[in-house]
Structure 1
Amino acid sequence: MNQTLHQELKSAIEHSLRKSQTPGAAVAIRLNGEPFCEMGVGYQDLNYTQPLSKDASFYIYSVTKSLLATASLDLVGKGILNLDDSVQHHLPDFSLDPSITIRHLLGHTSGLPDYGGMSTYFDALKAAPTVPWSEETFLNLVTQERCLPPGTDWQYSNIGYLVLKRILKRITGLSMQQLLHQVIFSPLALQSTFVPNTLDDVTVLTPGYTAFFSGTELQDMSPLYHPGWVSHGVVISTAPELAKMIEALFLNQILSSALIEQMLYPVHILGKYPRFEKLAYGLGLFIDLESPHGLVAGHTGEGPGYSVAAFHFPNLGGSQMTIAAITNQDRHDYGLVLVYKLVEVLNKFLASQH
């Protein structure tokens, strides 16, 4: 890669990290199916002495939803699952509105509630970060909270994806790790991407800093935060492997173009949003319907210690690019901010070449 461009990309990230007082970030850019730029920028410790590796491992938090959606569409392609199947049909023992479908779950239009804003969830997490709620405790929230009629509105729901995970397990007999390994991790020959189940599984994580547990002081959440607190399961990955997964989706290396079209069909239009001209949600993907770079799609993720974003740009200076950025401190949408910082630098550089 051009050394001037590499330095400009690095400088843009360094400047942003300094301004936001964030220790470090790992970023990866893929161009037309090949690695283009991978780097760790900044540091993995709060003393700013240990450089952050480009291959550092992080929770990818809600970007996991895009992978669960991919596995679901793979089953649709094989005729094993239908997007308009009733959820109740697949989970007869779990009492739900029979009109809720798989499509509703994938697009966050099931009407099922979320625990994202519930004080009971945050209080429990803060009190016992190493001891997560059981899936049943999460699912019980469905009966305690008011549900919207299915298909009437968009409501982001982690619970909806937990229900989806349950259906995938029931249909395939595979754990989430086994299913994602079969559909995504193994075909792409990923070495550092997996689904953790215990605190022993997460010792590979790079330190992630948050003030969530102390209220004031930053601390490393990686030995504390049990992956079970993400109700639908969470994937651990690196920036290069995350970029590879998201890119593979849009290069039809995992699913057919017809299935990708289903994922990219806007279920709900959210409208103007920072860095997006016209933000919408498809099936497991955020989409910008009016980006100057074509139909931009991907997902963000955040939780204690990390902020993540991975997006595919069909036309960035005449090339297809996929960009992933992960920071080791939790700041709202900060992974997304860094993705678009890189887009800005790439745009300017490519324009100067013509």
Structure 2
Amino acid sequence: MLSSLISNGQPQTPNPSELMVPWWSFTKTVLAATALSLVRDGLIGLDEPIPDQLFTLRQLLRHEAGLADYGELAEYHAAVSNSESAWSTDEMMQRLDVTRLRYSPGTGWRYSNVGYMLIGRLIERLTHLTLDEAVNQRALSPLGVSNVRFAKTRADLQTSPLGSASNYDPAWVYHGLLVGPISQAAVFLDRLLSGDLLPKSLLQEMQAARGLGGAIPGRPWVNAGYGLGVMQGSIDGGFTLCGHTGCGPGSVIAVYRIDDGDTSACCAAFEANASEGAVEAFVAGELVQVLRQETEGV
């Protein structure tokens, strides 16, 4: 397993791997941070309706907008399994009947990659930049994160541990798929949640999670919730982790941070051919071990 550990802002992993790995849905946390920088700068309000839509930015970020997701389409899974090229955005939206909201915004919860595609479009509209430029200028560069980019073609994934075994078209991730070293994923989350990009008030909003109810079988969560582009949940021992898990064909990434009094730690891990629960459990174990070492003065 590739992993990177940060304790109290200091890297703890000797020579962390600089292999480029797909960040999968951890990309959502980066997009959320970029969108919240727009709120910070007064370009949009969290609770203002998105232009020409019935939902707000907060509802989009927290998967409460009423949107469906292409992951529910059997033909999507079949096409990905067959290594087909991604549908055009228009075709995907037509197949999903995306304009038909599944519930009234704010009244329910449904994980939606489509929502984050709309967040990407909003970022481009408000910044007059491409999504790549906006993410770099507003989130990655300010946090000192480097060597991270959006995968656009199959060739962009050939330098990852998936290598030539994967013939996945990253265009299937309609909100964009970041690729980068696992160490940079840990740096991004640690510095973001340390307050290096957003004011305390927005960080509190980001981490105000909607409870999703109880434990998740096969995963370490005792209680799971979702904030603004972050998964947040409690694990055994009463600890709370904040970050995001992502998975795609053949691999899983999990990036989480723990904060307990004067001690904080952040761990990112990536593994091919693993379950979400296994990678999350590894990360949780690493983070709890750091806290115990600090408590015991080791």
Aligned partners of 1:146 and 1:352: how far apart in 2?
A: 52
Residue type matched to 1:163 in 2? L
2:91 corresponds in structure 1 to 137
Q: 2:271 aligns with which of 315, 327, 330?
A: 327
Q: How does 1:52-201 map to 2 (within 5 A)?
A: 54-87=17-50, 89=51, 92=52, 98-129=53-84, 131-140=85-94, 141-143=96-98, 147-201=102-156
Q: Partners of 1:351 and 1:76 in 2: how far apart?
A: 37
Larger radius of gyration: 1
Matched residue pairs, number?
A: 295
The answer to whether the 8 Å contact 1:28/1:39 transfers is no
Q: TM-score, normalised by structure 2?
A: 0.90
Q: Judge conservation of contact 2:149–2:180 (CA < 8 Å) in 1.
A: yes
Report the alpha carbon displacement of residue 182 of structure 1 after superposing the two structures with TM.
0.5
SS at match of 1:235: strand
CA separation in 2, counterparts of 1:271 and 1:132?
35
Alignment of 1:1-354 (within 5 A): 25-38=1-14, 54-87=17-50, 89=51, 92=52, 98-129=53-84, 131-140=85-94, 141-143=96-98, 147-207=102-162, 220-221=165-166, 224-273=167-216, 274-288=219-233, 292=237, 295-315=240-260, 319-346=263-290, 349-350=293-294, 353=297
Is the alpha carbon distance of 1:204 and 1:123 closer, same or farther for their aligned partners in structure 2, counting shifts above 3 Å? same
Q: Partners of 1:295 and 1:111 in 2: how far apart?
A: 27
Q: Using the alignment, how far apart are the partners of 1:199 and 1:26 within structure 2?
A: 22
- RMSD (Å) for aligned C-alpha atoms: 2.4
Percent identity, aligned pairs only? 26
Taking the aligned partners of 1:155 and 1:197, their CA distance within structure 2 comes to: 27
Q: Given residue 225 of structure 2, which amino acid in structure 1 is its aligned partner? A: A
Structure 2 unaligned residues grouped into runs of 5+: none
Q: CA deviation at 1:271?
A: 2.6
Give the match's secondary structure for 1:272: coil
CA–CA separation in structure 1 for the residues paired with 2:277 and 2:174:
21
Letter in 2 for 1:26: L
Residue type at the aligned position of 2:230: L
What's the CA shift for 1:293?
6.4
Match of 1:216 in 2: none
Instruction: Tell me the secondary structure at the aligned position of residue 214 of structure 2.
Output: strand
CA shift in 2, pair 1:38/1:299, >3 Å: farther
Mapped contact 1:58–1:205 kept (Cα < 8 A): yes
- Helix, strand or coil: the match of 1:82? coil
- CA–CA distance in structure 1, aligned partners of residues 234 and 285 of structure 2: 20
5+ residue gaps in structure 1? 1-24, 41-53, 93-97, 209-218
Deviations 1:217-270 (A, max 9, x none): xx821xx11111111111102111000000011111111111101101123443
**Does the CA-based 8 Å contact 1:263-1:282 persist in structure 2?**
yes
How far apart, CA to CA, are the structure 2 residues paired with 1:290 and 1:124?
Answer: 36
TM-score by length of 1: 0.76
| Cα contact 1:29–1:38 (8 A) shared by 2 | no
